[in-house]
Amino acid sequence: MARAIVHMDLDTFFVSCERRTNSELNGIPLIIGGGDRGVVASCSYEARKFGVRSAMPIRMALKLCPDAKVMKGDMELYSQLSHDVTEILQEKAPVLEKASIDEFYLDITGMDKFHGSYKWTNELAQKVIKETGLPISFSLSINKTVSKIATGEGKPVGNLEIPEQKVQDFLNPLSIQKIPMVGNVTFQLLSRIGVRKIQTLAEMPAEVLQQMIGKNGLDIWKKANGIDHTPVEPYTERKSISTEHTFSQDTIDIAKLKRVLLGMVEKLSFQLRSEQWLTSTVTVKIRYANFDTETKQCRVAYTSADHLLTKNVMELFEKLYQRRMRLRLIGIRFSGLVRGTYQIDLFEDTQEMLSLYAAMDKMKSRYGFDAVMRCAGASFKPNNKDEILKRIK
């Protein structure tokens, strides 16, 4: 049986959330981002006509589109509306994967025998639009790759169906940049040998592509040929990532405790970004010398950024640690995870901050987590005696 995979994407999500709240924003060039030195988190189609794109510096965006209205953005609002959409989809979909704050995959294989897959999906999209007031695009095809590409081609508010026999005809004329794994470096490399269309890429020998690009070459070749067996991973709010540190000697040294917490946050945040997770719930745990254990948590806007999560962790610790007894253990847990990348947390950030994260993550990935750390958290260096819990539940 051919699979039936739906990709749903909320159109210009941040912009749509703001317009849902204030109808006066409809029809004007709108940029969501932060400050003169910040970057574009999202922009309306009216702004895109002038060349404005996500992750572009705000100053450059305003040079391209001087009449654009810039708004700081409200991540609490965006997180809540994302949750509302998730609940609607989760109630109806047999298998739902939340790929990011505004992007979803549904596996509805076999549903055509009872409802008609396209009709059912269209009705579900209309339900989302009616109940949330947010525009949503979708496409239906045989796998994640084709469905995602088709959604992009159908926007805004597009509803495409690409049956198995038409997959290659649909893909062939498109640019290879439409393939999710093909970034700018790969595009430039392939362009130099005349490979710019998916058809040309699909007709290349897979071995040649693998020699040129490396281990990802075969995966890119498969996607160019409409082959993708990646399953839709069921979404659950119970996913979490955590770490705990047991001290060799019980301590009441506040400065030391905060340094260890900072290092733990940095370690978990790096793991979130490496595995493309965003967290919405932060929990701090302490265990006193007499083994009494207490926890406190708070909700946060979806993020994987050290500087944002550190602030929440320190606030929770201050509220939690009131007895001033010696501690034997402290721990942190990030939960309520969804798939996503750091780009949705751009409102307070400068381009320099984003470049710093990218550079630090690159060094950590290549040389190890403690190859580069913030000075304040450098004292946290896990060893075999520490009770370290690194898990995705």
| Cα–Cα distance list, 355 to 22, 329, 339, 341, 361 (Å) | 33, 34, 21, 14, 10
Q: What is the mean pLDDT of the chain?
A: 86
**Beta strands of the chain (E only): which ranges?**
5-10, 30-33, 40-43, 69-71, 95-100, 103-107, 136-141, 159-161, 240-251, 277-288, 293-303, 327-335, 338-339
pLDDT of residue 73: 81
pLDDT of residue 79: 82
* 343-379 per-position pLDDT tens digit: 444 445 556 666 776 777 777 666 665 656 665 555 5
**Amino acid present at 346:** L
Of 67-71, 282-286, 299-303, 358-362, which range is least confident?
Answer: 358-362
* 126-162 per-position pLDDT tens digit: 999 999 999 999 999 999 999 999 999 998 888 999 9
Known active-site residue 91: no
pLDDT of 183 above 50: yes
pLDDT of residue 64: 95
Task: For residue 71, list its beta bridge partners.
Answer: 32
* pTM of the predicted protein model: 0.68
pLDDT of residue 388: 34
CA distance 203 to 292: 65
- 3-state DSSP assignment of residue 182: coil
Other CB atoms within 10 Å distance of the CB of residue 40? 24
C-beta of residue 251 within 8 angstroms of C-beta of residue 258: no
Q: How far is CA 206 from the centre of its chain?
A: 30
pLDDT of residue 393: 41
| Cα–Cα distance list, 89 to 49, 84, 97, 101, 125 (Å) | 31, 9, 10, 13, 9
Which residue in the list 46, 103, 161, 266 is annotated as catalytic? 103
- Is 9 annotated to bind a ligand? Reply is yes
The continuous run of DSSP H or E covering 268 comes out as helix 254-274
Query: What are φ and ψ of residue 305, in 5° steps?
Result: -95, 130
Of 34-48, 49-63, 99-113, 198-212, which range is least confident?
Answer: 34-48
Catalogue all structural domains in the chain, each as residue range(s) with its CATH number.
1-162 (3.30.70.270), 164-236 (1.10.150.20), 240-377 (3.30.1490.100)
pLDDT of 241 above 80: yes
- Is 67 annotated to bind a ligand? Reply is no
